[in-house]
Structure 1
Amino acid sequence: MIKKEFFTLSGAKGRGMLMDLTYDENFKDAPLVIFVHGFKGFKDWGTHNLVANYFAQNGYRFLKFNFSHNGTTPDNPIDFTDLIAFSDNTFSIELDDLNTVIDFAINGSAIPRANGVYLIGHSMGGGISIVKTAEDKRIKKLVTMGSTSSFHNLWPKEAEKQWKLQGIMYMLNSRTNQQMPLKAGLLYDLDKHPERLDILKKAAEITQPWIIIHGDADNTVSPTHAKQLHTAQPHAELLLIKGGDHTFGGTHPYAKNTLPADLQKFCNAAIKFLNK
Protein backbone atom coordinates (compact mmCIF):
# COMPACT_ATOMS: atom_id res chain seq x y z
CA MET A 1 0.00 0.00 0.00
CA ILE A 2 1.22 3.49 -0.87
CA LYS A 3 1.70 5.72 2.19
CA LYS A 4 2.47 9.42 2.57
CA GLU A 5 4.10 11.08 5.58
CA PHE A 6 4.45 14.83 6.14
CA PHE A 7 7.27 16.78 7.79
CA THR A 8 8.23 20.40 8.31
CA LEU A 9 11.90 21.41 8.41
CA SER A 10 13.41 24.75 9.32
CA GLY A 11 14.85 26.19 6.13
CA ALA A 12 16.85 29.35 5.38
CA LYS A 13 16.23 32.26 7.78
CA GLY A 14 14.10 29.94 9.92
CA ARG A 15 11.27 29.71 7.39
CA GLY A 16 9.41 26.41 7.39
CA MET A 17 9.77 23.94 4.54
CA LEU A 18 6.87 21.54 4.14
CA MET A 19 7.78 18.15 2.69
CA ASP A 20 6.19 14.78 2.10
CA LEU A 21 7.52 11.27 1.67
CA THR A 22 5.64 8.79 -0.53
CA TYR A 23 6.51 5.10 -0.28
CA ASP A 24 5.20 1.55 -0.47
CA GLU A 25 4.94 0.34 3.13
CA ASN A 26 6.43 -2.99 2.03
CA PHE A 27 9.63 -1.15 1.04
CA LYS A 28 10.25 1.39 3.79
CA ASP A 29 14.03 1.35 3.21
CA ALA A 30 13.78 1.57 -0.58
CA PRO A 31 16.21 3.93 -2.40
CA LEU A 32 15.35 7.59 -1.83
CA VAL A 33 14.61 10.10 -4.59
CA ILE A 34 14.47 13.81 -3.70
CA PHE A 35 12.45 15.99 -6.09
CA VAL A 36 13.56 19.61 -6.53
CA HIS A 37 10.84 21.90 -7.93
CA GLY A 38 11.41 24.85 -10.22
CA PHE A 39 10.78 28.60 -10.29
CA LYS A 40 7.18 29.49 -9.37
CA GLY A 41 6.79 25.79 -8.52
CA PHE A 42 5.84 23.88 -5.40
CA LYS A 43 5.79 20.27 -4.26
CA ASP A 44 2.04 19.71 -4.85
CA TRP A 45 1.91 21.32 -8.29
CA GLY A 46 -0.25 19.54 -10.87
CA THR A 47 1.10 16.05 -11.53
CA HIS A 48 3.83 15.89 -8.85
CA ASN A 49 1.80 13.65 -6.51
CA LEU A 50 1.03 11.22 -9.34
CA VAL A 51 4.75 11.07 -10.12
CA ALA A 52 5.52 10.40 -6.44
CA ASN A 53 3.00 7.54 -6.39
CA TYR A 54 4.40 6.08 -9.60
CA PHE A 55 7.95 6.03 -8.22
CA ALA A 56 6.69 4.44 -4.99
CA GLN A 57 4.91 1.73 -6.99
CA ASN A 58 8.22 1.07 -8.75
CA GLY A 59 10.26 0.58 -5.59
CA TYR A 60 11.43 4.06 -4.58
CA ARG A 61 10.78 6.41 -1.71
CA PHE A 62 9.94 9.83 -3.15
CA LEU A 63 10.61 12.93 -1.05
CA LYS A 64 9.44 16.32 -2.30
CA PHE A 65 9.55 19.66 -0.53
CA ASN A 66 8.81 23.35 -0.86
CA PHE A 67 11.83 25.65 -0.84
CA SER A 68 11.73 27.99 2.16
CA HIS A 69 11.40 31.08 -0.06
CA ASN A 70 9.22 29.78 -2.91
CA GLY A 71 6.28 31.95 -1.79
CA THR A 72 4.18 29.19 -0.21
CA THR A 73 3.94 28.52 3.52
CA PRO A 74 3.33 25.33 5.54
CA ASP A 75 -0.22 26.63 6.15
CA ASN A 76 -0.77 27.52 2.46
CA PRO A 77 1.32 24.98 0.54
CA ILE A 78 -0.27 25.54 -2.90
CA ASP A 79 -0.78 29.33 -2.90
CA PHE A 80 1.79 32.10 -3.19
CA THR A 81 0.77 33.90 0.00
CA ASP A 82 4.27 34.92 1.17
CA LEU A 83 5.54 37.21 -1.57
CA ILE A 84 7.99 38.82 0.87
CA ALA A 85 9.79 35.49 1.15
CA PHE A 86 9.59 35.01 -2.63
CA SER A 87 11.18 38.43 -3.19
CA ASP A 88 14.07 37.57 -0.84
CA ASN A 89 14.93 34.27 -2.51
CA THR A 90 18.39 33.55 -3.93
CA PHE A 91 20.05 30.54 -5.53
CA SER A 92 22.38 30.24 -2.53
CA ILE A 93 19.33 30.04 -0.25
CA GLU A 94 17.94 27.21 -2.36
CA LEU A 95 21.26 25.35 -2.21
CA ASP A 96 21.22 25.71 1.59
CA ASP A 97 17.62 24.43 1.68
CA LEU A 98 18.50 21.42 -0.46
CA ASN A 99 21.44 20.64 1.82
CA THR A 100 19.06 20.71 4.81
CA VAL A 101 16.74 18.25 3.07
CA ILE A 102 19.62 15.89 2.21
CA ASP A 103 20.86 16.08 5.81
CA PHE A 104 17.34 15.12 6.95
CA ALA A 105 17.30 12.12 4.60
CA ILE A 106 20.78 10.93 5.55
CA ASN A 107 20.63 11.30 9.33
CA GLY A 108 17.66 8.92 9.74
CA SER A 109 16.10 10.78 12.67
CA ALA A 110 12.55 10.84 11.27
CA ILE A 111 12.65 8.47 8.28
CA PRO A 112 14.71 5.33 7.61
CA ARG A 113 18.27 6.46 6.94
CA ALA A 114 19.30 6.78 3.29
CA ASN A 115 22.86 5.71 2.45
CA GLY A 116 22.79 8.17 -0.41
CA VAL A 117 20.14 9.97 -2.42
CA TYR A 118 19.06 10.39 -6.02
CA LEU A 119 18.02 13.84 -7.19
CA ILE A 120 15.40 14.79 -9.77
CA GLY A 121 15.49 18.51 -10.54
CA HIS A 122 12.95 20.30 -12.73
CA SER A 123 13.64 23.54 -14.62
CA MET A 124 15.40 25.98 -12.25
CA GLY A 125 15.46 23.14 -9.73
CA GLY A 126 17.49 21.26 -12.32
CA GLY A 127 20.13 23.97 -12.21
CA ILE A 128 20.15 23.87 -8.40
CA SER A 129 20.47 20.06 -8.53
CA ILE A 130 23.39 20.22 -10.96
CA VAL A 131 25.33 22.61 -8.72
CA LYS A 132 24.56 20.52 -5.63
CA THR A 133 25.48 17.22 -7.31
CA ALA A 134 28.88 18.61 -8.32
CA GLU A 135 29.48 19.58 -4.69
CA ASP A 136 28.00 16.66 -2.73
CA LYS A 137 29.01 13.00 -3.10
CA ARG A 138 26.02 11.92 -0.98
CA ILE A 139 24.09 12.36 -4.24
CA LYS A 140 24.57 9.06 -6.10
CA LYS A 141 22.67 9.78 -9.32
CA LEU A 142 21.08 12.83 -10.97
CA VAL A 143 18.05 13.19 -13.25
CA THR A 144 17.35 16.61 -14.73
CA MET A 145 13.97 17.43 -16.22
CA GLY A 146 13.68 20.41 -18.57
CA SER A 147 16.65 21.96 -16.75
CA THR A 148 18.06 25.39 -17.43
CA SER A 149 21.76 25.62 -18.28
CA SER A 150 22.11 29.14 -16.82
CA PHE A 151 20.38 31.02 -14.03
CA HIS A 152 20.69 34.19 -16.12
CA ASN A 153 18.28 32.69 -18.66
CA LEU A 154 15.34 33.00 -16.26
CA TRP A 155 14.72 36.66 -17.19
CA PRO A 156 15.55 39.05 -20.07
CA LYS A 157 19.23 40.03 -19.90
CA GLU A 158 18.36 43.64 -20.77
CA ALA A 159 16.21 43.87 -17.63
CA GLU A 160 19.15 43.45 -15.25
CA LYS A 161 20.43 47.05 -15.30
CA GLN A 162 17.00 48.53 -14.51
CA TRP A 163 16.39 45.79 -11.97
CA LYS A 164 19.51 46.78 -10.04
CA LEU A 165 18.63 50.48 -10.27
CA GLN A 166 15.12 49.96 -8.90
CA GLY A 167 16.12 47.20 -6.49
CA ILE A 168 13.16 45.05 -7.49
CA MET A 169 11.54 43.50 -10.56
CA TYR A 170 8.08 41.98 -10.98
CA MET A 171 7.45 38.82 -12.98
CA LEU A 172 3.90 37.91 -13.98
CA ASN A 173 2.65 34.51 -12.90
CA SER A 174 0.37 33.78 -15.84
CA ARG A 175 -1.44 31.02 -13.91
CA THR A 176 -2.40 33.13 -10.86
CA ASN A 177 -2.12 36.61 -12.46
CA GLN A 178 0.10 37.66 -9.55
CA GLN A 179 2.98 40.06 -10.06
CA MET A 180 5.77 38.14 -8.32
CA PRO A 181 8.40 40.47 -6.80
CA LEU A 182 12.10 39.66 -7.05
CA LYS A 183 14.63 41.82 -5.26
CA ALA A 184 17.97 42.56 -6.87
CA GLY A 185 19.55 40.34 -4.21
CA LEU A 186 19.00 37.48 -6.65
CA LEU A 187 21.33 39.20 -9.14
CA TYR A 188 23.84 40.17 -6.48
CA ASP A 189 23.97 36.53 -5.39
CA LEU A 190 25.02 35.60 -8.94
CA ASP A 191 27.60 38.42 -8.94
CA LYS A 192 29.00 37.29 -5.58
CA HIS A 193 29.27 33.59 -6.48
CA PRO A 194 30.00 33.53 -10.23
CA GLU A 195 31.85 30.21 -10.22
CA ARG A 196 29.60 28.31 -7.82
CA LEU A 197 26.44 29.42 -9.66
CA ASP A 198 27.80 28.71 -13.15
CA ILE A 199 25.64 25.71 -14.08
CA LEU A 200 27.70 24.66 -17.11
CA LYS A 201 30.94 24.83 -15.12
CA LYS A 202 29.38 22.67 -12.41
CA ALA A 203 27.96 20.29 -15.02
CA ALA A 204 31.51 19.65 -16.25
CA GLU A 205 32.55 18.70 -12.69
CA ILE A 206 29.86 16.05 -12.12
CA THR A 207 31.24 12.51 -11.79
CA GLN A 208 28.01 10.75 -10.72
CA PRO A 209 25.74 9.07 -13.30
CA TRP A 210 23.39 11.65 -14.81
CA ILE A 211 20.58 11.62 -17.34
CA ILE A 212 19.42 14.85 -19.00
CA ILE A 213 15.77 14.56 -20.07
CA HIS A 214 14.11 17.37 -22.00
CA GLY A 215 11.05 17.80 -24.18
CA ASP A 216 12.00 18.74 -27.73
CA ALA A 217 8.93 21.04 -27.86
CA ASP A 218 9.76 22.85 -24.60
CA ASN A 219 8.90 26.53 -25.17
CA THR A 220 9.80 27.58 -21.60
CA VAL A 221 13.36 26.23 -21.43
CA SER A 222 14.59 25.52 -24.93
CA PRO A 223 16.03 22.04 -25.67
CA THR A 224 19.21 23.97 -26.51
CA HIS A 225 19.81 24.06 -22.76
CA ALA A 226 19.87 20.25 -22.63
CA LYS A 227 22.36 20.13 -25.49
CA GLN A 228 24.58 22.69 -23.74
CA LEU A 229 24.53 20.61 -20.56
CA HIS A 230 25.41 17.48 -22.52
CA THR A 231 28.27 19.27 -24.26
CA ALA A 232 29.58 20.38 -20.86
CA GLN A 233 29.30 16.82 -19.50
CA PRO A 234 29.40 14.30 -22.36
CA HIS A 235 29.43 11.36 -19.93
CA ALA A 236 25.81 12.19 -19.06
CA GLU A 237 23.01 10.51 -21.00
CA LEU A 238 20.78 12.77 -23.11
CA LEU A 239 17.15 11.96 -23.88
CA LEU A 240 14.91 14.30 -25.86
CA ILE A 241 11.24 13.32 -25.62
CA LYS A 242 9.56 13.95 -28.97
CA GLY A 243 6.74 16.48 -28.63
CA GLY A 244 7.38 16.90 -24.90
CA ASP A 245 6.74 20.32 -23.37
CA HIS A 246 8.25 21.86 -20.22
CA THR A 247 6.06 19.82 -17.85
CA PHE A 248 5.67 16.77 -20.12
CA GLY A 249 1.92 17.30 -20.35
CA GLY A 250 1.34 18.22 -16.72
CA THR A 251 -0.88 21.16 -15.78
CA HIS A 252 -2.04 22.80 -12.57
CA PRO A 253 -4.60 21.94 -11.51
CA TYR A 254 -4.57 18.42 -12.96
CA ALA A 255 -7.85 16.53 -12.61
CA LYS A 256 -6.99 13.10 -14.08
CA ASN A 257 -5.64 10.25 -11.97
CA THR A 258 -3.30 8.92 -14.66
CA LEU A 259 -0.01 10.39 -15.83
CA PRO A 260 0.09 12.28 -19.16
CA ALA A 261 1.74 10.15 -21.86
CA ASP A 262 4.92 12.25 -22.08
CA LEU A 263 5.29 12.37 -18.29
CA GLN A 264 4.91 8.58 -18.22
CA LYS A 265 7.78 8.40 -20.71
CA PHE A 266 9.84 10.66 -18.47
CA CYS A 267 9.13 8.54 -15.37
CA ASN A 268 9.91 5.27 -17.17
CA ALA A 269 13.19 6.64 -18.51
CA ALA A 270 14.19 8.01 -15.10
CA ILE A 271 13.33 4.77 -13.29
CA LYS A 272 15.19 2.68 -15.87
CA PHE A 273 18.23 4.93 -15.38
CA LEU A 274 18.04 4.76 -11.58
CA ASN A 275 17.60 0.97 -11.67
CA LYS A 276 20.91 0.45 -13.49
Structure 2
Amino acid sequence: MSTPFTLQNTRGLELLGDTHSPNDPPKACVILMHGFKGYKDYGFLPVLAHDLCQEGLFVHRFNSSTSGMTNEIETFARPDLFELDTWTRQVEDIERVVQAVRDGEIAGKGLPIFIIGHSRGGASALLAAGRHGDALKLAGVITINAVDCCSRMPEDEQEAMLARGYTMTQSARTNQDLRINSTWLSEQLDNPDAHDVILQAAKIACPVCVIHGDDDQAVDLSAGKAIAQACKTDLNTLEKGNHVLNMPNPSELDTKRSVQLLKTTGIIVRFIAKHG
Protein backbone atom coordinates (compact mmCIF):
# COMPACT_ATOMS: atom_id res chain seq x y z
CA MET A 1 0.00 0.00 0.00
CA SER A 2 1.39 3.40 -0.94
CA THR A 3 0.32 7.00 -0.43
CA PRO A 4 0.76 9.63 -3.18
CA PHE A 5 2.55 12.91 -2.58
CA THR A 6 3.34 16.02 -4.61
CA LEU A 7 6.28 18.34 -4.01
CA GLN A 8 7.24 21.53 -5.79
CA ASN A 9 10.91 22.00 -6.64
CA THR A 10 12.92 25.22 -6.67
CA ARG A 11 11.99 25.83 -10.31
CA GLY A 12 8.27 25.59 -9.56
CA LEU A 13 7.82 22.17 -11.17
CA GLU A 14 6.02 19.24 -9.56
CA LEU A 15 7.53 16.03 -8.27
CA LEU A 16 4.89 13.30 -8.19
CA GLY A 17 5.66 10.48 -5.79
CA ASP A 18 4.41 7.57 -3.73
CA THR A 19 5.39 6.72 -0.17
CA HIS A 20 5.49 3.15 1.11
CA SER A 21 5.15 3.11 4.91
CA PRO A 22 6.05 0.05 7.02
CA ASN A 23 3.76 -1.28 9.72
CA ASP A 24 6.60 -1.66 12.20
CA PRO A 25 8.82 1.18 13.46
CA PRO A 26 10.95 2.25 10.47
CA LYS A 27 14.69 1.64 10.42
CA ALA A 28 15.63 4.05 7.63
CA CYS A 29 14.30 6.04 4.69
CA VAL A 30 14.92 5.20 1.03
CA ILE A 31 14.54 7.53 -1.97
CA LEU A 32 14.14 5.60 -5.22
CA MET A 33 15.17 7.26 -8.51
CA HIS A 34 14.16 5.99 -11.97
CA GLY A 35 16.22 6.05 -15.16
CA PHE A 36 16.10 7.75 -18.57
CA LYS A 37 12.60 7.62 -20.09
CA GLY A 38 11.60 5.82 -16.91
CA TYR A 39 9.15 6.74 -14.16
CA LYS A 40 8.24 5.79 -10.61
CA ASP A 41 5.81 3.06 -11.70
CA TYR A 42 8.15 1.41 -14.20
CA GLY A 43 8.87 -2.31 -14.11
CA PHE A 44 10.42 -3.58 -10.90
CA LEU A 45 10.48 -0.20 -9.09
CA PRO A 46 7.08 -0.43 -7.33
CA VAL A 47 7.78 -4.06 -6.40
CA LEU A 48 11.20 -3.22 -4.99
CA ALA A 49 9.68 -0.32 -3.06
CA HIS A 50 7.00 -2.61 -1.62
CA ASP A 51 9.46 -5.34 -0.67
CA LEU A 52 11.87 -2.90 0.99
CA CYS A 53 8.96 -1.44 2.93
CA GLN A 54 8.15 -4.95 4.16
CA GLU A 55 11.67 -4.95 5.62
CA GLY A 56 10.86 -1.91 7.79
CA LEU A 57 11.86 0.97 5.54
CA PHE A 58 10.09 4.12 4.41
CA VAL A 59 10.41 4.21 0.62
CA HIS A 60 9.69 7.24 -1.55
CA ARG A 61 9.64 6.66 -5.32
CA PHE A 62 9.04 9.69 -7.50
CA ASN A 63 8.99 11.04 -11.04
CA SER A 64 11.68 13.60 -11.73
CA SER A 65 10.19 16.98 -12.61
CA THR A 66 11.37 16.68 -16.21
CA SER A 67 10.57 13.00 -16.73
CA GLY A 68 7.63 14.01 -18.90
CA MET A 69 5.54 11.50 -16.97
CA THR A 70 2.45 11.96 -14.83
CA ASN A 71 0.26 9.36 -13.16
CA GLU A 72 -1.06 8.66 -16.67
CA ILE A 73 1.59 6.00 -17.27
CA GLU A 74 0.58 4.96 -20.79
CA THR A 75 2.16 8.03 -22.34
CA PHE A 76 4.61 10.89 -21.85
CA ALA A 77 1.83 13.35 -21.08
CA ARG A 78 4.29 16.25 -20.63
CA PRO A 79 6.83 16.13 -23.48
CA ASP A 80 7.23 19.88 -22.95
CA LEU A 81 8.87 19.08 -19.61
CA PHE A 82 10.85 16.11 -20.92
CA GLU A 83 12.69 18.40 -23.32
CA LEU A 84 13.90 20.57 -20.41
CA ASP A 85 15.72 17.70 -18.71
CA THR A 86 19.35 18.07 -17.65
CA TRP A 87 21.59 16.23 -15.21
CA THR A 88 21.57 19.23 -12.90
CA ARG A 89 17.78 19.18 -12.78
CA GLN A 90 17.97 15.51 -11.79
CA VAL A 91 20.37 16.36 -8.98
CA GLU A 92 18.17 19.25 -7.83
CA ASP A 93 15.15 16.95 -7.65
CA ILE A 94 17.04 14.50 -5.47
CA GLU A 95 18.08 17.36 -3.21
CA ARG A 96 14.45 18.48 -2.99
CA VAL A 97 13.16 15.07 -1.93
CA VAL A 98 15.93 14.69 0.64
CA GLN A 99 15.04 18.12 2.04
CA ALA A 100 11.35 17.15 2.15
CA VAL A 101 12.25 14.16 4.31
CA ARG A 102 14.45 16.27 6.58
CA ASP A 103 11.73 18.92 6.97
CA GLY A 104 8.95 16.41 7.62
CA GLU A 105 7.00 17.20 4.44
CA ILE A 106 7.13 13.50 3.66
CA ALA A 107 7.84 10.58 5.99
CA GLY A 108 11.23 9.72 7.43
CA LYS A 109 12.32 12.79 9.40
CA GLY A 110 15.26 11.95 11.66
CA LEU A 111 16.00 8.62 9.98
CA PRO A 112 19.11 7.69 7.98
CA ILE A 113 18.49 8.46 4.29
CA PHE A 114 19.63 6.22 1.45
CA ILE A 115 19.28 6.93 -2.26
CA ILE A 116 18.74 4.09 -4.72
CA GLY A 117 19.11 4.92 -8.40
CA HIS A 118 18.46 2.71 -11.42
CA SER A 119 20.34 3.25 -14.70
CA ARG A 120 20.59 7.01 -15.29
CA GLY A 121 19.05 7.48 -11.85
CA GLY A 122 22.08 5.74 -10.38
CA ALA A 123 24.39 8.26 -12.02
CA SER A 124 22.16 11.11 -10.83
CA ALA A 125 22.43 9.77 -7.28
CA LEU A 126 26.22 9.62 -7.57
CA LEU A 127 26.38 13.16 -8.95
CA ALA A 128 24.16 14.43 -6.13
CA ALA A 129 26.23 12.73 -3.45
CA GLY A 130 29.50 13.81 -5.06
CA ARG A 131 28.52 17.44 -5.60
CA HIS A 132 26.53 18.02 -2.43
CA GLY A 133 27.57 15.33 0.03
CA ASP A 134 28.14 17.72 2.93
CA ALA A 135 24.66 19.20 2.62
CA LEU A 136 22.79 15.96 1.89
CA LYS A 137 24.42 13.96 4.72
CA LEU A 138 23.32 10.66 3.19
CA ALA A 139 23.71 7.36 5.00
CA GLY A 140 24.44 5.63 1.70
CA VAL A 141 24.00 5.47 -2.07
CA ILE A 142 22.95 2.34 -3.95
CA THR A 143 23.20 2.02 -7.72
CA ILE A 144 21.45 -0.57 -9.87
CA ASN A 145 22.78 -0.95 -13.43
CA ALA A 146 23.96 2.66 -13.36
CA VAL A 147 25.65 4.44 -16.24
CA ASP A 148 29.18 5.69 -15.60
CA CYS A 149 29.11 8.58 -18.07
CA CYS A 150 26.71 11.48 -18.63
CA SER A 151 27.07 11.38 -22.41
CA ARG A 152 28.68 9.23 -25.08
CA MET A 153 27.42 11.42 -27.92
CA PRO A 154 29.95 11.65 -30.79
CA GLU A 155 31.42 15.09 -31.46
CA ASP A 156 29.64 15.54 -34.79
CA GLU A 157 26.27 14.83 -33.14
CA GLN A 158 27.12 17.27 -30.36
CA GLU A 159 27.83 19.98 -32.92
CA ALA A 160 24.56 19.24 -34.70
CA MET A 161 22.59 19.35 -31.45
CA LEU A 162 24.10 22.67 -30.41
CA ALA A 163 23.49 24.18 -33.86
CA ARG A 164 19.90 22.97 -34.02
CA GLY A 165 19.12 23.64 -30.38
CA TYR A 166 17.78 20.16 -29.68
CA THR A 167 17.92 16.49 -30.56
CA MET A 168 15.21 13.82 -30.78
CA THR A 169 14.84 10.46 -29.10
CA GLN A 170 12.10 7.88 -29.50
CA SER A 171 10.36 6.02 -26.71
CA ALA A 172 10.17 2.34 -27.61
CA ARG A 173 7.42 2.01 -25.00
CA THR A 174 5.03 4.68 -26.31
CA ASN A 175 6.44 5.26 -29.83
CA GLN A 176 6.55 8.99 -29.12
CA ASP A 177 9.29 11.16 -30.60
CA LEU A 178 10.64 13.21 -27.71
CA ARG A 179 12.75 16.34 -27.88
CA ILE A 180 15.78 17.10 -25.68
CA ASN A 181 16.95 20.71 -25.61
CA SER A 182 20.65 21.45 -26.15
CA THR A 183 20.90 22.76 -22.59
CA TRP A 184 21.32 19.10 -21.63
CA LEU A 185 24.61 19.09 -23.55
CA SER A 186 25.79 22.67 -23.03
CA GLU A 187 25.63 22.28 -19.23
CA GLN A 188 27.99 19.31 -19.51
CA LEU A 189 30.40 21.19 -21.76
CA ASP A 190 30.34 24.27 -19.52
CA ASN A 191 31.00 22.31 -16.32
CA PRO A 192 32.63 18.97 -17.19
CA ASP A 193 33.86 18.11 -13.69
CA ALA A 194 30.35 18.39 -12.24
CA HIS A 195 29.17 15.95 -14.91
CA ASP A 196 32.03 13.48 -14.56
CA VAL A 197 30.28 10.53 -12.91
CA ILE A 198 33.49 8.73 -11.97
CA LEU A 199 35.11 11.89 -10.58
CA GLN A 200 32.05 12.69 -8.48
CA ALA A 201 31.69 9.07 -7.36
CA ALA A 202 35.27 9.13 -6.08
CA LYS A 203 34.41 12.18 -3.93
CA ILE A 204 31.52 10.50 -2.11
CA ALA A 205 32.15 10.17 1.62
CA CYS A 206 29.20 7.94 2.53
CA PRO A 207 29.11 4.17 1.82
CA VAL A 208 28.19 3.16 -1.73
CA CYS A 209 26.69 -0.15 -2.88
CA VAL A 210 27.07 -0.99 -6.58
CA ILE A 211 24.82 -3.63 -8.18
CA HIS A 212 25.03 -4.61 -11.86
CA GLY A 213 23.75 -7.43 -14.03
CA ASP A 214 26.28 -9.36 -16.11
CA ASP A 215 23.75 -9.66 -18.96
CA ASP A 216 22.76 -5.98 -19.07
CA GLN A 217 22.49 -5.14 -22.77
CA ALA A 218 21.68 -1.47 -22.12
CA VAL A 219 24.53 -0.58 -19.75
CA ASP A 220 27.59 -2.80 -19.87
CA LEU A 221 28.94 -4.43 -16.74
CA SER A 222 32.10 -2.39 -17.22
CA ALA A 223 30.16 0.66 -16.00
CA GLY A 224 29.46 -1.04 -12.70
CA LYS A 225 33.11 -2.03 -12.40
CA ALA A 226 34.24 1.56 -13.02
CA ILE A 227 31.82 2.97 -10.44
CA ALA A 228 32.78 0.38 -7.82
CA GLN A 229 36.47 1.07 -8.40
CA ALA A 230 35.93 4.83 -8.05
CA CYS A 231 34.02 4.32 -4.81
CA LYS A 232 36.57 1.79 -3.51
CA THR A 233 33.86 -0.78 -2.92
CA ASP A 234 32.98 -4.24 -4.18
CA LEU A 235 30.80 -4.81 -7.23
CA ASN A 236 27.72 -6.94 -6.59
CA THR A 237 27.22 -8.84 -9.85
CA LEU A 238 23.82 -10.29 -10.73
CA GLU A 239 24.30 -13.51 -12.69
CA LYS A 240 22.21 -13.46 -15.89
CA GLY A 241 20.79 -10.12 -14.75
CA ASN A 242 19.46 -7.80 -17.46
CA HIS A 243 18.89 -4.05 -17.29
CA VAL A 244 15.49 -4.33 -15.60
CA LEU A 245 16.36 -7.16 -13.20
CA ASN A 246 14.56 -9.68 -15.42
CA MET A 247 11.16 -8.25 -14.46
CA PRO A 248 8.34 -7.27 -16.86
CA ASN A 249 6.84 -3.82 -17.33
CA PRO A 250 4.44 -3.37 -15.75
CA SER A 251 5.10 -5.57 -12.72
CA GLU A 252 2.35 -6.05 -10.16
CA LEU A 253 2.81 -6.84 -6.49
CA ASP A 254 1.73 -10.43 -7.15
CA THR A 255 4.20 -10.79 -10.03
CA LYS A 256 6.72 -13.55 -9.35
CA ARG A 257 10.01 -12.03 -8.28
CA SER A 258 12.98 -12.85 -10.48
CA VAL A 259 16.08 -14.34 -8.92
CA GLN A 260 17.87 -11.11 -9.79
CA LEU A 261 15.32 -8.90 -8.04
CA LEU A 262 15.35 -11.10 -4.95
CA LYS A 263 19.15 -10.94 -4.83
CA THR A 264 19.09 -7.16 -5.30
CA THR A 265 16.59 -6.72 -2.48
CA GLY A 266 18.71 -8.85 -0.17
CA ILE A 267 21.88 -6.89 -0.99
CA ILE A 268 20.11 -3.60 -0.31
CA VAL A 269 18.56 -4.76 2.97
CA ARG A 270 21.93 -5.97 4.27
CA PHE A 271 23.67 -2.76 3.16
CA ILE A 272 21.12 -0.58 4.92
CA ALA A 273 21.22 -2.74 8.06
CA LYS A 274 25.00 -2.29 8.17
CA HIS A 275 25.11 1.45 7.48
CA GLY A 276 21.73 2.74 8.72
TM-score of Structure 1 vs Structure 2, range by shorter chain: over 0.9
Checking the alignment, whether the CA contact within 8 Å between 2:208 and 2:231 is kept in structure 1 is no
Once residues 251 and 239 of structure 2 are traced to their aligned partners in structure 1, the CA distance between those partners, rounded to angstroms, is 22
Once residues 119 and 208 of structure 1 are traced to their aligned partners in structure 2, the CA distance between those partners, rounded to angstroms, is 11
1:38-61 deviation per Cα after TM superposition (whole angstroms, max 9, x unaligned): 110100112211111100111111
Once residues 81 and 139 of structure 2 are traced to their aligned partners in structure 1, the CA distance between those partners, rounded to angstroms, is 31
Higher relative contact order (CA 8 A, sep 6+): 2
Once residues 64 and 110 of structure 1 are traced to their aligned partners in structure 2, the CA distance between those partners, rounded to angstroms, is 12
Map 1:218-257 to 2 at 5 A: 218-234=216-232, 236-254=233-251, 256-257=254-255
User: Which amino acid counterpart does residue 80 of structure 1 have in structure 2?
Assistant: F
Q: 1:80 to 1:156 in 2, by over 3 A?
A: farther
User: Which amino acid counterpart does residue 148 of structure 2 have in structure 1?
Assistant: S
Q: Secondary structure at the match of 1:271?
A: helix
Stretch moving more, 130-139 or 170-179: 130-139
Is 2:102 aligned against 1:103?
Answer: no
Is 2:143 aligned against 1:147?
Answer: no
Checking the alignment, whether the CA contact within 8 Å between 1:50 and 1:258 is kept in structure 2 is no
Once residues 230 and 109 of structure 1 are traced to their aligned partners in structure 2, the CA distance between those partners, rounded to angstroms, is 33
Is 2:34 aligned against 1:37?
Answer: yes
Match of 1:126 among 102, 122, 127: 122
Once residues 125 and 159 of structure 2 are traced to their aligned partners in structure 1, the CA distance between those partners, rounded to angstroms, is 28
Match of 1:216 among 207, 214, 217: 214
- The aligned residue for residue 258 of structure 2 is 260
- The aligned residue for residue 186 of structure 2 is 188
- The aligned residue for residue 69 of structure 2 is 72
Q: Secondary structure at the match of 1:70?
A: coil
Q: 1:109 to 1:169 in 2, by over 3 A?
A: closer
Unaligned runs of 5+ in 2: none
Q: Secondary structure at the match of 1:24?
A: coil
Please report how far the alpha carbon of residue 195 of structure 1 lies from its aligned counterpart in structure 2 after TM superposition: 1.2
- The aligned residue for residue 157 of structure 2 is 159
Once residues 78 and 158 of structure 1 are traced to their aligned partners in structure 2, the CA distance between those partners, rounded to angstroms, is 34
Once residues 110 and 211 of structure 1 are traced to their aligned partners in structure 2, the CA distance between those partners, rounded to angstroms, is 25
Is 2:7 aligned against 1:9?
Answer: yes
Is 2:19 aligned against 1:21?
Answer: yes
Q: TM-score, normalised by structure 1?
A: 0.92
Q: 1:130 to 1:110 in 2, by over 3 A?
A: closer
Aligned residues: 270
Q: TM-score, normalised by structure 2?
A: 0.92
Q: 1:5 to 1:190 in 2, by over 3 A?
A: same
Please report how far the alpha carbon of residue 76 of structure 1 lies from its aligned counterpart in structure 2 after TM superposition: 2.8
Q: 1:38 to 1:262 in 2, by over 3 A?
A: same
Please report how far the alpha carbon of residue 261 of structure 1 lies from its aligned counterpart in structure 2 after TM superposition: 1.8
User: Which amino acid counterpart does residue 141 of structure 2 have in structure 1?
Assistant: L
Runs of 4+ in 1 over 3 A off after TM superposition: 155-158
Unaligned runs of 5+ in 1: none
Once residues 69 and 125 of structure 1 are traced to their aligned partners in structure 2, the CA distance between those partners, rounded to angstroms, is 13
C-alpha RMSD of matched pairs (Å):
1.7
Once residues 226 and 272 of structure 1 are traced to their aligned partners in structure 2, the CA distance between those partners, rounded to angstroms, is 19
Q: Secondary structure at the match of 1:35?
A: strand
